[in-house]
Amino acid sequence: MNHKRFLGPLFLIMFMIGADSFLISPLLPTLVRYYHVSTTVSGFLISRLRRSLLSHWSHL
């Protein structure tokens, strides 16, 4: 099995997860104020967004 073939996509996925944490996490207080939801709900919305993006990327 050629492991080098998997390193590029794996790196991109891990980079996007890490970058997502730094870009999306500061938006949680804004989501709370804008949508009038609790912090828990806004965190759930972000985790659902991440899950949907990852499932989309895994099918590419």
DSSP state of 1: -
Helix (H) or strand (E) holding 53: helix 39-58
Domain assignment present for 32 = yes
Domain assignment present for 3 = no
Q: Note down the domain range covering 28.
A: 24-60
Token pair of 36 as six digits: 């009038």
Q: 15: helix, coil or strand? A: helix
Domain assignment present for 54 = yes
Q: Does pTM top 0.85 for this prediction? A: no
Domain assignment present for 18 = no
Token pair of 31 as six digits: 């989501």
Angle of the 39-58 helix axis to the 4-24 helix axis, nearest 10: 160
What tens digit of pLDDT does each residue of 4-49 get?
Answer: 777 888 888 788 777 777 777 788 888 889 989 898 888 888 778 7
If we measure between CA atoms, which residue out of 33, 16, 13 comes closest to residue 24? Answer: 16
The domain tally of the chain equals: 1
